[in-house]
């Protein structure tokens, strides 16, 4: 994996370390990162994105604690061997939960009924 | 407004410590009792509006001005009486470098380099090229932005253990590419060589990249001092509709009444990570905030 695969938005309300973990989760779930694949070093990620290396270490540490990554002696971090692309629909759907809740909140704020929103969403998904 | 102060770390191992600094000009207080300590390897971003006292604080912390009261320490030594060895470990880049203007950039770097035991001459040469500075032009003839770039090169090439930067006018100083390069240098040096960085700027998104902590200075007081990630997770904006404002929490970092009678408050999670109860009022809403929004809200 290359450090450029990550997108960092420093001014987003979400802390950078969470942005990294979230993206690792998605990349692994979607199979873009495969079990055993080597992650870029903390230095590479920090250097490429001009971010504090401690932030990257923190993200890797959290991903390791979650079982997404494993530390390989002398090599660095790799995608955990037990990680397979998530096949089950419900598990993949769960990764969208935050975004769906956010969307629902906006819909409620705009006092829109569900139907037109769902129709529009269906159209977007159909394309 | 609540002043959230962190305990000042032990002066012996701390690169930089301020204790109850008070300073003022013409009877007006610019610093109003500031306590601030930096731990080794940390990158502290100092945020504040123009006139908030950032430059005065930095100058007092480095012993470049004598405060009316309070004290400052650099590597455990009183800032006003620094030894040469302490000085050789510090690099300071002011907003408007003025020293040695009668030399060319190359001459100045060559001259200054002799005072620093760990001077990295090849780095200085490379950076002059990379940042497009004509080495044989007199410093006095460079634009303010170019002057500051030369000074940044001087600071980085001395491989300091404590680096203090004031980058308040980015448009003049660094284009986006050079800026990114500078941030990369700062981030990697803090991470690998344990360089401690104090960084003052208006550009909050720069801080969000590289800073491990931020301190908000407002009207001479430190409003908030917190880890960058922690700040984003701990504070939020609570919006309460007009008819519910009687139930607004008593405690908040700032409170603003909007034109429609609704309230916007900056609130903090409690020790269990819960927002104040008012967040569950019908129609109430919590928004996560970036640092810039947070600063604007509490500095009003």
Nearest-by-Cβ selection for B208 from A11, A53, A54: A11
Contact with chain B for residue A17, Cβ under 8 A: yes
Q: What does the block give as tokens for B126?
A: 């490379």
Average pLDDT (A90-113) is 84
Q: What is the pLDDT of residue A85?
A: 65
Q: What does the block give as tokens for A82?
A: 């037990």
Note down the domain range covering A100: 96-126
> Which residue in the block uniquely carries the two structure tokens 């009486």?
B81
Name chain B contacts of A53, Cβ cutoff 8 Å: 187-188, 190-192
Rounded to an integer, what distance in angstroms lies between the CA atom of residue A45 and that of residue B175?
Answer: 22
Average pLDDT (A37-55) is 93
Name chain B contacts of A52, Cβ cutoff 8 Å: 43, 187, 190-191, 209-212
pLDDT of A53 higher than 80: yes
Three-class SS of residue B110?
Answer: helix
Q: What is the largest CA-CA distance in chain B?
A: 69
Number of domains in chain B: 2
Q: Do B288 and A54 touch (CB under 8 A)?
A: no
Contacts of B154 (CB under 8 A, 6+ apart): B91, B93, B108, B109, B112, B124
> In angstroms, what CA-CA distances link B159 with B16, B85, B295?
17, 14, 32
Average pLDDT for chain A? 88
Contact with chain B for residue A55, Cβ under 8 A: yes
> Are A18 and A25 within 8 A, CB to CB?
no
**Would you say residue B92 lies in a domain?**
no
Comparing C-alpha atoms, which of B54, B55, B102, B62 is closest to residue B79?
B62
Instruction: Tell me, yes or no, whether A39 and A72 share the same domain.
Output: yes
Distance from CA of B158 to the nearest CA of A (A): 21
Q: What is the pLDDT of residue B8?
A: 44
**Would you say residue A72 lies in a domain?**
yes
Contacts of B231 (CB under 8 A, 6+ apart): B214, B224, B291, B294
Where chain B has pLDDT below 70, the residues are 1-13, 169-173
Number of domains in chain A: 2
Q: What is the pLDDT of residue B120?
A: 94
Q: What is the pLDDT of residue B3?
A: 38
**Would you say residue B53 lies in a domain?**
no
Average pLDDT (A46-66) is 93
Q: What is the pLDDT of residue B5?
A: 40
Q: Do B43 and A52 touch (CB under 8 A)?
A: yes
Chain B interface test: which of A8, A16, A45, A50 (most B C-beta within 10 Å): A50
Instruction: Tell me, yes or no, whether A13 and A71 share the same domain.
Output: yes
Q: Do A43 and B188 touch (CB under 8 A)?
A: yes
> Which residue in the block uniquely carries the two structure tokens 């977007």?
A124
Bridge-based pairing of strands B43-47 and B213-218 is: parallel
Note down the domain range covering B122: 102-158
Q: Do B192 and A49 touch (CB under 8 A)?
A: no
Indicate the pTM of the whole model. Answer: 0.81
User: pLDDT tens across A81-91, in order?
Assistant: 876 666 677 87
Tell me the ipTM for this assembly. 0.80
Q: Do A54 and B212 touch (CB under 8 A)?
A: yes
Rounded to an integer, what distance in angstroms lies between the CA atom of residue A96 and that of residue B250?
Answer: 36
User: pLDDT tens across B33-42, in order?
Assistant: 999 999 888 9
Contact with chain A for residue B208, Cβ under 8 A: yes
Instruction: Tell me, yes or no, whether A51 and A102 share the same domain.
Output: no
Q: Do A49 and B209 touch (CB under 8 A)?
A: yes
Provide the 8-state DSSP code for B40: T
Instruction: Tell me, yes or no, whether A75 and A112 share the same domain.
Output: no
**Would you say residue B148 lies in a domain?**
yes
Name chain A contacts of B208, Cβ cutoff 8 Å: 10-11, 16
Q: What is the pLDDT of residue A21?
A: 95
Name chain A contacts of B43, Cβ cutoff 8 Å: 52
User: pLDDT tens across B269-293, in order?
Assistant: 888 888 888 888 888 888 888 888 8
Q: Do B209 and A10 touch (CB under 8 A)?
A: yes
User: pLDDT tens across B227-281, in order?
Assistant: 888 888 889 999 888 888 888 888 888 888 889 888 898 998 888 888 888 888 8
CATH code for the domain of B283: 3.30.70
**Would you say residue B260 lies in a domain?**
yes
Radius of gyration over every alpha carbon of chain A, rounded to an integer in angstroms = 17
Contact with chain B for residue A53, Cβ under 8 A: yes
Encode A4-34: b = buried (16+ Cβ within 10 Å), e = exposed.
Answer: eebebebeebebbbbbbbebbbebbbeeebe
Residue of A123 and B174 predicted with greater confidence = A123
């Amino acid at each position: 994996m290359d450090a450029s695969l990550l997108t960092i938005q420093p001014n987003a309300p979400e802390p950078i370390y969470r942005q990294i973990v979230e993206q690792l989760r998605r990349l692994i779930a979607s199979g873009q990162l495969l079990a055993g694949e080597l992650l870029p070093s903390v230095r590479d990620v920090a250097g490429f994105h001009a971010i504090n290396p401690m932030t990257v270490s923190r993200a890797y540490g959290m991903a390791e604690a979650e079982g997404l990554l494993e530390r390989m002696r002398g090599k660095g971090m790799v995608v955990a061997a037990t990680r397979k692309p998530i096949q089950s629909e419900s598990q993949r759907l769960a990764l969208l939960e935050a975004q769906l809740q956010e969307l629902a909140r906006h819909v409620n704020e705009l006092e829109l009924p569900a139907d037109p929103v769902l129709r529009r969403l269906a159209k977007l998904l159909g394309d | 407004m609540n002043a959230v102060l962190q305990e000042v770390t032990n002066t012996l191992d701390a690169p930089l410590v301020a204790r109850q600094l008070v300073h003022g000009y013409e009877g007006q207080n610019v610093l109003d009792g500031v306590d601030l300590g930096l731990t080794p390897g940390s990158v502290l971003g100092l945020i504040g509006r123009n006139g908030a006292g950032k430059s005065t604080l930095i100058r007092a912390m480095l012993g470049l001005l004598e405060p009316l009261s309070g004290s400052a320490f650099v590597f455990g030594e009183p800032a006003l009486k620094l030894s040469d060895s302490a000085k050789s470990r510090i690099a300071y880049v002011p907003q408007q470098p003025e020293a040695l203007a009668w030399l060319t950039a190359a001459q100045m770097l060559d001259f200054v380099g002799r005072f620093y035991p760990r001077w990295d001459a090849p780095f200085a040469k490379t950076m002059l090229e990379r940042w497009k500075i004509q080495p044989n032009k007199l410093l006095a003839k460079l634009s303010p932005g170019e002057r500051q770039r030369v000074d940044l090169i001087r600071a980085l090439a001395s491989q300091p253990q404590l680096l203090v930067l004031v980058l308040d006018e980015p448009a003049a100083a660094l284009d986006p590419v050079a800026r990114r390069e500078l941030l990369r240098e700062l981030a990697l040096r803090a991470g690998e060589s344990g360089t401690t960085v104090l960084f003052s700027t208006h550009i909050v998104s720069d801080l969000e990249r590289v800073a491990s902590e931020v301190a908000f200075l407002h009207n001479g007081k430190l409003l908030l001092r917190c880890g960058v990630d922690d700040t984003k997770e701990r504070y939020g904006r609570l919006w309460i509709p007009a008819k519910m404002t009687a139930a607004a929490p008593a405690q908040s970092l700032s409170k603003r009444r909007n034109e429609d009678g609704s309230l916007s408050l900056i609130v903090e999670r409690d020790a269990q990570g819960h927002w104040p109860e008012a967040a569950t009022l019908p129609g109430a809403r919590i928004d996560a905030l970036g640092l810039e929004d947070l600063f604007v809200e509490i500095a009003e």
